[in-house]
Structure 1
């Protein structure tokens, strides 16, 4: 990893643009509350998509908050230099956070109070392609180089944050799964109203069918990409195609078979039925 762009932290390569040593030290002392909500993803797995849905579910479909407050202000990234813990203490309840961190590197309070977690996962071959184009487009990540080289690094975990496999296995192997909801990116594409319904039930926020349909319509990927969000940051970099299976346009059959062989070996001990097969 490019040394000037990343900081090594408990098995992760974090972009120093967002995660400084001081911010990480501050974060380690953070205290979660039982009614907190944490959206957890591996990068490029639908983070901002879910961060649009959750506050709309909590508001019953009222878009006032998402129309007036930028995503990273209403749902701050944990351990991020832009989000001092003292500021996060004052967020209205229930607080919404987001993280790409491994399961075993959260503050002690997380394991003690067990806040609600929504874990969004995506076919790793599509994650690979989305990450490749994203890292090419921003200056706070190292250029990924040729795709052929990047996907080998991806399989070995030599990429920003951490290995996709380690991330998945950590969050899927939680001992107490009573406070986590697993959602697949592919589910969101196939039947978004059903996903909204599941999230509402998980967050114990009863919604009428009309509210669910309104939230789902606003959060269809084609609409999300065109939403005018309150931010000076170029939000479009986080949205590309929003489809499943784009990897087929980039990986040869031989490459895909090799990827699948590595996947099968690394995930052999995971007892979880993934929607992508």
Structure 2
């Protein structure tokens, strides 16, 4: 059941990718200097991270909205714990946008002064699982597990990158009062993107004109993003992504887990997750046709 050390290593009870982060670097994040204008997008993997990265980029960067700047997402909204391009985050001009999969207890302690902002996006875990499974086939940095049943058991046990979904979501929700945080669900973004963009703008203190909001919503639709190499991580080198097997952005739907899981597997999933999920103050949507 334990994942191979080639693909994952444990740091303070949490799984990271070994050749993209080190314990020494992660040690420095506790005292990472936080600015009041910083914005952190936090997710569990495959929960709409790239989508929300793109939305934040469109909200903050006029050049992205009007298509005049050819800057990819890794430079607009870089990863805090995976500084792939060795960027100098300290000298980065404000406002700085960051993406992260960190659990609440590994977040920089400066975030707890509640001035910088955290946007946390959560997605129903069956779709997360299905998306994670398909993504593992395209990523050269994740162990490919052909058998979905085996992959599901690893996911249910938290033996995957970013560890246990329940712990991640529960941790950020339980400690929400420690942070200046906005929670969004992937499903509400799918059902009413414009409302979510307005909610983000309000939380971030960003005043956009109606025309600018329209542009953000239009460019943040799944099909527009999938066609945009800057948004679809097509700049990732072949040693990180096997582009012949698929893309970062695959379907972007709600309820695709039904095309991957058997009834028995869905029931097995419920038997492990349901009790703790029922204690979370989130209404989970399992199908795009369900009412939120």
From the superposition, tell whether residues 121 and 138 of structure 1 become closer, same or farther in structure 2 (CA, over 3 Å).
same
SS in 2 for 1:88: coil
Shift of the alpha carbon at 1:109?
1.4
Which residue in the other structure is 2:249 paired with? Answer: 239
Cα deviation code 1:121-147 (max 9, x no counterpart): 111000001000111212111112310
Q: Contact 2:118/2:179 (CA < 8 Å) preserved in 1? A: no
SS in 1 for 2:177: coil
Distance in 1 of aligned mates of 2:235 and 2:60: 25
From the superposition, tell whether residues 51 and 81 of structure 1 become closer, same or farther in structure 2 (CA, over 3 Å).
closer
Match of 1:68 among 63, 70, 78: 70
- How many residues are matched? 276
From the superposition, tell whether residues 212 and 238 of structure 1 become closer, same or farther in structure 2 (CA, over 3 Å).
same
SS in 2 for 1:38: strand
Q: Contact 1:26/1:79 (CA < 8 Å) preserved in 2? A: no
Which residue in the other structure is 1:189 paired with? Answer: 190
Q: Contact 2:65/2:212 (CA < 8 Å) preserved in 1? A: no
Unaligned runs of 5+ in 2: 238-242, 287-291
Which residue in the other structure is 1:267 paired with? Answer: 277
Deviates more, 1:136-145 or 1:264-273: 264-273
Distance in 2 of aligned mates of 1:66 and 1:272: 39
Q: Contact 1:31/1:110 (CA < 8 Å) preserved in 2? A: no
Distance in 2 of aligned mates of 1:62 and 1:138: 27
Distance in 1 of aligned mates of 2:224 and 2:108: 36
Distance in 1 of aligned mates of 2:105 and 2:179: 17
Matched, 1:143 2:144: yes
Matched, 1:42 2:52: no
Distance in 2 of aligned mates of 1:20 and 1:211: 40
SS in 2 for 1:262: helix
Which residue in the other structure is 2:16 paired with? Answer: 14
The TM-score, its normalising length taken from structure 1, stands at 0.91
Which residue in the other structure is 2:217 paired with? Answer: 216
Which residue in the other structure is 2:158 paired with? Answer: 157
Which residue in the other structure is 1:254 paired with? Answer: 264
Distance in 1 of aligned mates of 2:223 and 2:206: 26
Distance in 1 of aligned mates of 2:165 and 2:141: 20
Match of 1:56 among 33, 55, 58: 58
SS in 2 for 1:181: strand
The TM-score, its normalising length taken from structure 2, stands at 0.87
Q: Contact 1:36/1:95 (CA < 8 Å) preserved in 2? A: yes
Distance in 2 of aligned mates of 1:62 and 1:207: 14
Shift of the alpha carbon at 1:84?
4.9
Distance in 1 of aligned mates of 2:248 and 2:23: 25
Q: CA RMSD in A?
A: 2.3
Q: Contact 1:153/1:159 (CA < 8 Å) preserved in 2? A: yes
Cα deviation code 1:189-219 (max 9, x no counterpart): 1111111111111111122222212111111
Unaligned runs of 5+ in 1: none
SS in 2 for 1:97: strand
SS in 1 for 2:47: coil
Runs of 4+ in structure 1 off by over 4 angstroms are: none
Shift of the alpha carbon at 1:245?
0.5
